[in-house]
Amino acid sequence: MTIDPDSPVLDVADLRVAFGGTDVVRGVSLRISPGECVAIVGESGSGKSVTARALLGLAGSNARTSSGRLRVRGRELGSAGEREWQRVRARDVGLILQDALVSLDPLRPVGREIEDPLRLHERMPPAARRARVLELLHHVGMPDPDLAARQRSGELSGGLRQRALIAAAIALDPPLLIADEPTTALDVSVQARILALLARFTANGTGLLLISHDLAVVQELADRILVLRDGTVIEEGTAAEVLGAPRTAYTRALIAAVPSGRPRGVPLSVIDRPPGVAASVPHATAPAWPDLGNDRPLLELDHVTKAFEVAGGRFTAVDDVSLSVHRGETLGLVGESGSGKTTVARLALALTKPDSGDVVLDGIEWSRLREAERRPMRQRIGAIYQDALSSFDPRWNVGRILADAMSSVERGAPAPGVAALLEQVGLAASVANRRPLTLSGGQRQRVAIARALAASPDVLICDEPVSALDVTIQAQILDLLDELQRSRGLACLFISHDLGVVQHMADRVAVMQGGRIVETGAAEQVFGHPVHSYTAQLVADSPRLVH
Amino acid sequence: MTRGSPADPRGQRRGRTIRHAGLLVAGAVFVMWAVATLTFFAIRLIPGDPAQAILGGPGSQASQEALDQVRRDYGLDQPLIVQYLAMLGRLLTGDLGTSYALKVPVADLLGAQLGGTLLLALLSLVLAWILALGLSLWSTGRGRIATAVGEGIELTAAALPHFWLAAVLIAIFSSGLGWLPPVATGTAAGLVLPVVTLAVPLAGFLAQVMRESLLDAMQQPFVVSAQARGESTTGVRLRHTVRHAALPGISLSGWALGWLLSGAVVVETIFAMPGLGRTLLQAVTLRDIPVVTGVVLLISLVYVLMTVLTDVSSRIADPRLRQEANR
Amino acid sequence: MSELELRQTTVEASAEHPPTRRRDRLPRIGTLLAAAFVLFLAAATCFPGLVATQDPNQIAAAEAFRLPSLEHWFGTDESGRDVYSRVVAGTGTSLLIGVTATGIGLALGLALGVLASFGGRALDFSVSRLVEVLFAFPGLLLALLVIVIYGPGPVTATIAVGLSTAPGYARIIRGQLVSIRSAQFVESARVLGHSPARILTRHIVPNALVPIFVLATLGIGQAIVWASALSYLGLGAQPPAAEWGAMLAAGRTYLAGAWWMTVFPGLMIVGTTIATTVLGRALARRGRMHS
């Protein structure tokens, strides 16, 4: 079958999807030519994943889908039945989902999963199919195709199983690939390689529909960009147009919210606040905290090592780590998953005891104290976690959570009221009566910040505080944290896997790899002129939005 | 990083599998030893003189010589610790003592009946699996009504006591319709009602767990992936979700067999089947201690072996369990 | 595994898949029916005279083996006694046995579970091994062993059922306490500088109460089934006591002719088990909704 190079592989007009009377996708139109990459960007709830699935007839049995036109390789599929869709899937359109750990059947060998499309669509003897599977695995850069074909998704690393998932999607060499957040669960170095692999397909003439929340990822691959909000395309154009000269306020806000490359202190959030968030965060004029680095550090880790017993030996999570945070300073700690960042946070909070070395809080070696002695000091150090919801007692409402946090303040110290605390983090006083479960992710994180600040601590530990949030919400939370850190002169240890976020938030940066700190220095120094090869690689792999 | 990175991951995995198997066997041996010990000391709590019991209970007015003779024969004149060690030694050689009531070796008595009871339990297990898998596959993902009906059937089935279900089945199929015999006659027809009685409540339990697991699997992204490769709904069920639904059936089989053996006490009594369960009940009523301990030890042994088997087959069926152990 | 744990897992799972808006009317009807049944049981326990239609012990030889009718809803037995009234009269005994056995099992399970989850590594190890060993007496086996030692009878049977359900309670309670204790919100309270006593009273105990209550609700059904099985085997309550299991045992002789003597007392057992399971699930869902 020959394809006219100019005729689009996908041509959709006015696609609508509704679930039980609620419109989720409201009239999306798009075209993809061979070799072209079209990206749909949007935040959670924008309808981008539903759009991707509807293009394969997979929106679900309770979805009502309609379209003015839905053509794949020129064939109209708007009224296609399940049988017709089954013939289209994999042959004409390949689908790549997020996180292959759950997108591949954990009980079946990867090879069998890749074999499926060959078995279902081609008359091919089993031996030929198996040979083709190995060929495909080799093609997607699997180091040992023979072994990988026999392994299950759980036995492969994140990057390798994503490659296996891609191999299954391209098994029949479909002219169109749909990739729904294909790199979201991956470390940056792995992400960079998967993106390069996808770029290879478009270079060979495959059309690619990329669904992502990450503008920097989109910029690397996309020729055209559609910005989706509440099921509607609110902006569309070439990548340069949309990212360089956005026409709508929402797109501008999305771009502004990307922290990488923005100096400290520049607010990231510019758009309307969600309901339940007070109109303005009080803009405190930053008080001067002079002599940074000269005074005694508020928090110090001094040659700290911590190992855990694991099956088959000891695993050194934190290996001879030294770092210090001063008053009014944010120290950013970056590293990929498994590098020991969270163990550092737990050590700093004296939740685990170091095997050797000391954790010093304002001159006191508090890792050596007994827990009872440590308890009165705990109000001097607060913590914010990635998953705010699970850090709240599920039976309590916001008011009770905050009152409980304030009651730990020793008598005599003036305790701010719950309402005042909520106002400081930009929440309305009425939020006090709600349960965290009924709040949005951003609101929950604000409550978590309010709780951490209830006892007026000097030190704040933030462990991936914005990783679970949409980019515009992330921007608001980062602005709030930055604001509070400056106005209160907090010593802040800010832990994140996201170089952009750390770069925006931190005065100084420490880079962690395999339990060790490989590089440390001023933020602009480390990111601008990395010395250690690992840091240089991280910086190179991190997608950055080029303005 | 100081993580002990092995040169040969597969060899190491094999090593861990062997270690895991070793732990399983050691655990099983420990449990059996503890069961034997617990039983031994528990029966010492029985008020009264065991020698009296052997000679037919307090009413038998046995002579002092006869009592002394029995005490010597059964080693009851020895210190407790010696009796205990002797019991362990005998157990290792498969000697379970002599029945007080029937005066025959317990091992012979039980050996003759183990087969029938195991057959009953295994047939029930298989039937329960089939019923549960069928019900959960039929009722899951087919709309509200099917789900509600499926949930209702499971709930009711799991609430049925064996003795009542047996009675109702006899009333309907024997007394009422006359299709099947009310007592097990040793024929295949005689096995039908006992097997159904044991299987239906178990199927209720299994189906609940299987349906949850199936529902869980059907909501996983790998189902969308499979469909995106062109797999049909039936294909997704056959090649993907059924396995996930069957997993709890496998891992619960150890528990299920123990539950069935305990249920056999009731079912064998009602259907007048020879077997371990009925023997146990008779021994309990007669306070025939060696027989009681013998049956208890035997059922525990079957249960423990089945647990080991279940653990191993679960790990074969679900590679994720192997992963977990490796972490 | 134990029967109780299985009931528990399905409850947890059904609470994890909360019914969608359109579906939740169905379970609600079920919950209402279950609640109504439990209310009936409570009434039959507290005021048997009001709920029954006849004197449960009124012997009338001429009325023997009557089919269910408007006069005798569940028919009559071999002595002409009204089966419905006897079922009502037996409710108190059967429930008392079930609730007491559950109380014994729960108390022991709670003690073992608390020891294992708060007593440190060595205790946790020992208790877990003990529970594992007790599991090797599946189902009624442990109860039968207790009966061999202390002789048959309703009191022994109650204790025996309580003891044999204890390991199941222990393992579930241990698991729940461990998961609450290692929950992020408990660690957050530690970070705030709260004392262990305060964390225990404000977080761990309140969060453990609802699941334990759910567990007890589920356990009552199981305890009634087991206790009546022992009665049926002649090891618990004995005829002519109007306990459900004993009534079933008495009806066994006349099964061929008078099925109603067996069917109706058994239906009460089945109904009670279903009702407690449905209520337990509803409670678990409510608990989850609040959390």
Encoding tokens for residue A50? 């539903």
Residue A312 confidence (pLDDT): 67
**C-alpha–C-alpha distance, residues B13 and B20, integer Å:** 10
Nearest to C10 by CA among C277, C210, C289, C264: C277
Q: Tell me if residue A322 falls in helix, strand or coil.
A: strand
Answer whether A266's CB lies under 8 Å from A260's CB.
no
**C-alpha–C-alpha distance, residues A397 and A103, integer Å:** 36
Residue A232 confidence (pLDDT): 93
Q: Tell me if residue A383 falls in helix, strand or coil.
A: strand
List chains adjacent to chain C, taking adjacency as at least 3 C-beta pairs closer than 8 Å. A, B
Whether residue C183 and residue A408 make contact (CB cut-off 8 A), yes or no, is: no
Which three-class secondary structure string do you get for A474-497?
HHHHHHHHHHHHHHHCCEEEEEEC
Residues in chain C predicted with pLDDT less than 50, given as ranges, are 17-26, 291
CB nearest C190 (choices: A351, A385, A395): A351
CB nearest A390 (choices: C22, C185, C194): C185
pLDDT at A421 over 70: yes
Residue appearing with tokens 């959390």: C291
Burial of A86 (0-12, 13-18, 19+ CB in 10 A): buried
DSSP state of B170: I
String of DSSP letters for A224-244? EEEEEETTEEEEEEEHHHHHH
Closest chain C residue to A374 measured between Cα atoms?
Answer: C193
End-to-end CA distance of chain B: 16
Answer whether C176's CB lies under 8 Å from C11's CB.
no
Per residue in A143-182, pLDDT tens?
Answer: 889 999 998 888 888 888 999 999 999 999 999 999 999 9
Burial of C124 (0-12, 13-18, 19+ CB in 10 A): middle
Residue A323 confidence (pLDDT): 93
pLDDT band at B267 (very low <50, low <70, confident <90, very high): very high
Distance (Å) from the C-alpha of residue A316 to the closest C-alpha of chain C?
22
Distance (Å) from the C-alpha of residue C156 to the closest C-alpha of chain B?
13
Answer whether C218's CB lies under 8 Å from C4's CB.
yes
- Give me the torsion for CA of C157, C159, C160, C165, rounded to 10°: 130
Encoding tokens for residue A490? 């907090």
The average pLDDT across A346-352 equals: 93
**C-alpha–C-alpha distance, residues B109 and B98, integer Å:** 9
**C-alpha–C-alpha distance, residues B294 and A305, integer Å:** 56
Residue B326 confidence (pLDDT): 44
Higher pLDDT, C43 or B186: C43
| Lowest-pLDDT choice from A16-20, A286-290, C81-85 | A286-290
Residue A326 confidence (pLDDT): 93
Residue A198 confidence (pLDDT): 93
Per residue in A512-526, pLDDT tens?
Answer: 998 999 999 998 899
Query: Considering only CB atoms, which chain C residues are within 8 Å of A405?
Result: 192
**C-alpha–C-alpha distance, residues B206 and B212, integer Å:** 10
**C-alpha–C-alpha distance, residues C206 and C291, integer Å:** 12
Nearest to A137 by CA among A109, A179, A103: A109
pLDDT at A286 over 70: no
Whether residue B323 and residue A171 make contact (CB cut-off 8 A), yes or no, is: no
The average pLDDT across A43-69 equals: 89
**C-alpha–C-alpha distance, residues A167 and A387, integer Å:** 33
Residue appearing with tokens 């390949």: A94
Backbone φ and ψ for A14, nearest 5 degrees, come out as 55, 50
What pTM does this model have? 0.83
Q: In what order do the strands lie in the sheet with A299-310?
A: A313-325, A299-310, A356-361, A364-365
Residue A200 confidence (pLDDT): 93
Residue A313 contacts B where some CB pair is shorter than 8 Å: yes
Query: Considering only CB atoms, which chain C residues are within 8 Å of B140?
Result: none
Residue B244 contacts A where some CB pair is shorter than 8 Å: yes
pLDDT at A235 over 90: yes
The average pLDDT across A395-406 equals: 90
Q: Beta strand pairing status for A37-41 and A224-229?
A: parallel
Answer whether C168's CB lies under 8 Å from C109's CB.
yes
Per residue in B85-135, pLDDT tens?
Answer: 988 888 888 888 888 888 888 888 888 889 899 999 999 999 999 999 999
A218: enclosing H helix or E strand = helix A215-221
End-to-end CA distance of chain A: 42
**C-alpha–C-alpha distance, residues B260 and B254, integer Å:** 10
Residue B319 contacts A where some CB pair is shorter than 8 Å: yes
Backbone φ and ψ for A495, nearest 5 degrees, come out as -105, 130
Nearest to B35 by CA among B305, B283, B250: B305
Q: Which amino acid is at A14?
A: D
A367: enclosing H helix or E strand = none
Residue appearing with tokens 């035997």: B298
Residue C25 confidence (pLDDT): 45
Q: Which amino acid is at B18?
A: I
Whether residue A394 and residue C207 make contact (CB cut-off 8 A), yes or no, is: yes
Higher pLDDT, B177 or B193: B193
Residue B2 confidence (pLDDT): 38
Q: Taking the CA atoms of chain B, what radius of gyration do you get in angstroms? A: 25
Residues near B114 by Cβ (< 8 Å), separated by ≥ 6?
Answer: B276, B298
The average pLDDT across A113-135 equals: 91
The average pLDDT across B249-274 equals: 89
Whether residue B229 and residue A514 make contact (CB cut-off 8 A), yes or no, is: no
**C-alpha–C-alpha distance, residues C253 and C247, integer Å:** 11
Per residue in B137-166, pLDDT tens?
Answer: 888 877 778 888 888 899 899 899 999 999
Which spans in chain B are helix H? 9-43, 50-54, 64-73, 80-92, 106-139, 144-159, 162-169, 188-218, 221-228, 233-236, 242-251, 253-270, 276-286, 289-317, 319-326
The average pLDDT across A393-401 equals: 91
pLDDT band at B71 (very low <50, low <70, confident <90, very high): confident
**C-alpha–C-alpha distance, residues C30 and C21, integer Å:** 16
**C-alpha–C-alpha distance, residues C174 and C160, integer Å:** 22
Residue A56 contacts B where some CB pair is shorter than 8 Å: yes
Per residue in A472-496, pLDDT tens?
Answer: 899 999 999 999 999 999 999 999 9
- To probe the interface with A, which of C186, C187, C188, C210 has the most A CB atoms within 10 Å? C188
Domains of chain A listed by start with CATH number: 1-92+176-185+200-256 (3.40.50.300), 96-173 (no CATH), 299-387+458-541 (3.40.50.300)
The average pLDDT across A187-215 equals: 91
Nearest to A179 by CA among A188, A191, A187, A113: A191
Residues near B112 by Cβ (< 8 Å), separated by ≥ 6?
Answer: none
Residue A547 confidence (pLDDT): 61
Q: Tell me if residue A24 falls in helix, strand or coil.
A: strand
Cis amide linkage into residue A34, ω under 30° from 0: no
Which spans in A349-417 are helix H? 371-374, 398-406
Residue A393 contacts C where some CB pair is shorter than 8 Å: yes
String of DSSP letters for A499-543? HHHHHHH-SEEEEEETTEEEEEEEHHHHHHS--SHHHHHHHHHS-
Cα–Cα distances in angstroms (integers) from residue A8 to residues A25, A32, A72, A206, A265, in the given order: 22, 5, 8, 11, 45
Answer whether C80's CB lies under 8 Å from C109's CB.
no
pLDDT at B251 over 90: no
DSSP state of B175: I
* Chain B residues 218-247 with a CB less than 8 Å from chain C: none
Answer whether A143's CB lies under 8 Å from A121's CB.
no
Residue A103 contacts B where some CB pair is shorter than 8 Å: yes
Nearest to B140 by CA among B253, B276, B237: B237
Residues near C149 by Cβ (< 8 Å), separated by ≥ 6?
Answer: B42, B43, B45, B46
The average pLDDT across A309-322 equals: 84
Residue A38 confidence (pLDDT): 95
Residue A284 confidence (pLDDT): 40
DSSP state of B239: I
Cα–Cα distances in angstroms (integers) from residue B146 to residues A286, A350, B132, B212, C25, in the given order: 63, 53, 15, 14, 15
Residue A291 confidence (pLDDT): 47
Whether residue C192 and residue A379 make contact (CB cut-off 8 A), yes or no, is: yes
Residue A409 contacts C where some CB pair is shorter than 8 Å: no
pLDDT band at A283 (very low <50, low <70, confident <90, very high): very low
Q: Taking the CA atoms of chain C, what radius of gyration do you get in angstroms? A: 22
What average pLDDT does the structure give for chain A?
A: 87
CB nearest A378 (choices: C184, C185, C193): C193
**C-alpha–C-alpha distance, residues A271 and B185, integer Å:** 82
pLDDT at B8 over 70: no
Residue A115 confidence (pLDDT): 93
Residue appearing with tokens 């539903």: A50
